[in-house]
């Protein structure tokens, strides 16, 4: 997705060989017009997948997931990283370890919001080691729901998550796929120029 790649090049900051800072449009301040285009792109890519529900994880997945939900006209559910005061029974849970942040969170979704008849699209902001997506998959399995696929705003193709998920036969669509962050420079994978 060209507009996203241009935004990454113009506003992204390479913090190290593995971390890209995109606080000005995705992880802190949000660019609503870009989110709208991201939602449109995911909606086009998954329009024939029979999606009935979108699932993401708080907090930075919520904006792109909501715009996609708007365009596909389906509800959006976000997995919580902290226990909610009002959410205590009938929960699907999974442990998610972040290699980047070196912490493990137990994420949860109410059983009221994923059902066996659902066809679920997972949307998230980054795909690095794939642990967040694996946690969401575990909860979708607990619910006995079907998976339509995974939509990622920025995949770091040089980390293992993309391969881990695709090796399970799961469709992963990334709108920008980064090949390298070495020497302070963002290089994209060839196919994401299309
Ligand atoms: P994984 O889920 O693919 O295994 O990723 P990992 O544990 O490495 O990432 C954990 C958190 O760090 C996630 O956000 C993820 O989006 C974010 N992250 C990973 N790599 C990068 C990067 O290069 N740049 C930025 N900006 N973020 C990255 P989170 O903890 O869920 O945070 P948030 O959604 O509350 O913002």
> What's the confidence (pLDDT) of residue 90?
87
> What's the confidence (pLDDT) of residue 192?
46
Q: Whose CA is nearest to atom 7 of ligand 1?
A: 98
Residue 89 has, within 13 A of its CA and on its CB side, a CA count of 0
Would the CB of 163 count as within 6 Å of ligand 1? no
Q: Are 112 and 84 in contact (CB under 8 A)?
A: no
Domain boundaries, given as residue ranges, for the chain: 2-188
Structure tokens at 181: 């962050």
Q: Are 156 and 191 in contact (CB under 8 A)?
A: no
Pick the CATH number of 2-188 from 3.40.50.2020, 3.30.1330.40, 3.40.80.10, 1.20.1050.10: 3.40.50.2020
> What's the confidence (pLDDT) of residue 100?
80
> What's the confidence (pLDDT) of residue 194?
41
Q: Which helix (H) or strand (E) holds 136?
A: helix 131-143
Instruction: Using the mean position of ligand 1's atoms as its centre, give its distance from the Cα of residue 111 in Å.
Output: 25
Instruction: Using the mean position of ligand 1's atoms as its centre, give its distance from the Cα of residue 98 in Å.
Output: 7
Q: What is the mean pLDDT of each run of 10 residues along the chain (194 residues)?
A: 97 97 98 98 98 97 98 98 78 91 92 97 98 98 98 98 98 98 95 50
Would the CB of 160 count as within 6 Å of ligand 1? no
Residue with tokens 């120029």, as numbered in its chain: 193
pTM: 0.95
> Virtual CA dihedral for 159, 108, 143, 70, nearest 10 degrees?
-80
Residue with tokens 């919520």, as numbered in its chain: 62
Instruction: Using the mean position of ligand 1's atoms as its centre, give its distance from the Cα of residue 99 in Å.
Output: 9
Please give the backbone phi and psi of residue 47, each rounded to the nearest 5 degrees, phi first: -65, -30
Instruction: Using the mean position of ligand 1's atoms as its centre, give its distance from the Cα of residue 12 in Å.
Output: 15
The 10 Å CB-count burial string (b at 16+, else e) for 79-102 is: bbeeeeeeeeeebbebebeeeeee
Would the CB of 131 count as within 6 Å of ligand 1? yes
Would the CB of 109 count as within 6 Å of ligand 1? no
Mutate to test the pocket of ligand 1, among 21, 125, 126, 165 (most ligand atoms within 8 A of CB): 126
Q: How many CB atoms are closer than 10 A to CB 41?
A: 21
Would the CB of 27 count as within 6 Å of ligand 1? yes
């Amino acid at each position: 997705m060209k507009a996203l790649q241009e935004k990454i090049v113009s506003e992204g900051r390479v913090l190290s060989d593995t971390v890209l800072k995109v606080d000005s449009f995705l992880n802190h301040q949000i660019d609503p017009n870009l989110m709208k285009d991201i939602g449109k792109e995911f909606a086009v890519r998954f329009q024939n997948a029979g999606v009935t529900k979108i699932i993401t994880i708080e907090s930075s997945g919520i904006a792109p997931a909501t715009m996609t939900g708007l365009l596909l006209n389906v509800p959006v559910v976000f997995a919580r990283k902290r226990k909610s005061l009002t959410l205590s029974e009938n929960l699907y849970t999974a442990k998610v370890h972040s290699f980047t942040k070196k912490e493990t969170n137990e994420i949860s979704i109410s059983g009221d919001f994923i059902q066996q008849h659902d066809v679920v699209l997972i949307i998230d902001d980054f795909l690095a080691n794939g642990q967040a997506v694996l946690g969401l998959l575990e909860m979708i399995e607990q619910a006995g729901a079907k998976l339509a696929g995974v939509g990622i705003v920025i995949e770091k193709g040089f980390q293992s998550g993309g391969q881990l998920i695709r090796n399970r036969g799961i469709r992963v669509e990334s709108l920008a796929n980064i090949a390298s962050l070495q020497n302070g420079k963002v290089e994209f994978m060839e196919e994401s120029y299309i």
